[in-house]
Structure 1
Amino acid sequence: MRRHGWSGDIPRNDEEAAGRILDAARRAIDDGQPVTISTVAQSLGITRQTVYRYFPTQEALLAATALSSIDAFLDRLAGQLGAISDPTQAVVEGIAYTLEQLSHDRYLRLVVEPGKASAFTAGVTSDVAIGFGRSILQRYDIDWAAAGFDGEKLDGLVEFMLRTLQSFIVDPGGPARRGDGLRAYLSDWVAPAVRARAETPS
């Protein structure tokens, strides 16, 4: 790590340096300011090259900032839905609740809505997107392996959820399905697919 800049307060290691960069980006987002490599570097008293050392593009910086800030959403998800024990209901509620929270959580929007900072920028099968999907499933008190989903099968379930979620974000419909109507639709079409796959031997 380079030993200059940082307004005289040098980070102890690369992990702290990256953390400070993400903190600066979050402050800009919270203040409603544009987040660019230049503005983040200036706020920390470092060069743009230093930021690029940890985040090679502006898109990478924005995506990392968003993903590092969705714990609040995942905690709400756990509090709201953590008691669900049926895997099919968990998938339905996971998709529905995520869609409902989009209008309330700016960091969640950065993760999943189409755009330069989105986890879906590289596609729903990217490591970032799959990691986000797994985070949703892991908030449930469900033994996914015992429920018929382990290894590649669990990855397939995550991908299926993300593709469904993305389709609703890109085209919510007119009028958009909400509340009980959204859950009824997901229960009619998504839940049977999840149930059938759980019953299929790996």
Structure 2
Amino acid sequence: MRTHGWSGAAPTDDEEAVDRILAAARRAIDRSGSDFGIAEVARDLGVTRQTVYRYFPSVEALLTATSIAQTGHFLDVLAAHLSEIRDPATAVVEGIAYTLERLPHEKYLGLLLAPGRASAFSAGVTSDTAFEFGRSMLDRYSVDWAAAGIDDLDQLVEHMLRIVQSFVIDPGRPPRSGEELRAYLTTWVAPALTSRRS
């Protein structure tokens, strides 16, 4: 870890350096949205751009890491929303629907999932970033996946992300929401999960 710069208060270790960089990136996003640069973050911290690049190789990597760090709140809210649901099909349907409904209201979730500069979807729905987010969602569900006969959570994550991606890219005409969205997902998504138990 380099100790020069940092506005005279060097971080004690790499973990603190990353935390400070992510905090500066959050401030930059609050000011400029996703159209910020490494130079803006470096100025905020009193370091060179090379120092920031040492921890994050690109602005996209920094934007993605910041978004993932900030989606923890959304994942906690989602977990609370789904806490009483034990049925896998019902949980997946509600998880997808709730995520789609919250997307316009959750800035960092929008940066992570909406198509664009550094979203999970810009690198593909099967990117490591997308999988990390999707797996974090499933890990917070109150479902016993093994007891439900669902042993490949990676494929379930991929399936859910592909569905979310399709709705984000083209929400439909008119877009489905509320009970209509849930009815659609129950008809076309839920059977894939309920058939695992038969």
Question: How high is the TM-score relative to the length of structure 2?
Answer: 0.95
Equivalent residue, structure 2, for 1:159: 158
Equivalent residue, structure 1, for 2:142: 141
Equivalent residue, structure 1, for 2:72: 71
Equivalent residue, structure 2, for 1:118: 119
Equivalent residue, structure 2, for 1:199: 197
Distance 1:48 1:131 in 2: 27
Distance 1:82 1:136 in 2: 12
Equivalent residue, structure 2, for 1:127: 128
Q: How does 1:4-23 map to 2 (within 5 A)?
A: 4-23=4-23
CA contact (8 A) 2:100 2:164 kept: yes
**Structure 2: runs of 5+ lacking an equivalent:** none
Q: How many residues align?
A: 197
Aligned-residue CA RMSD (Å): 1.2
Shift of 1:147: 1.3
Equivalent residue, structure 2, for 1:101: 102
**Structure 1: runs of 5+ lacking an equivalent:** none
Give CA-to-partner distance per residue, 1:63-92, whole Å, 9 cap, x none. Answer: 000000011111111121111000000110
What is the percentage of aligned positions where both structures have the same residue? 62
Shift of 1:32: 4.2
Give CA-to-partner distance per residue, 1:99-132, whole Å, 9 cap, x none. Answer: 0001110000011111122112221111211111
Question: How high is the TM-score relative to the length of structure 1?
Answer: 0.94
Match of 1:31, SS state, is: helix
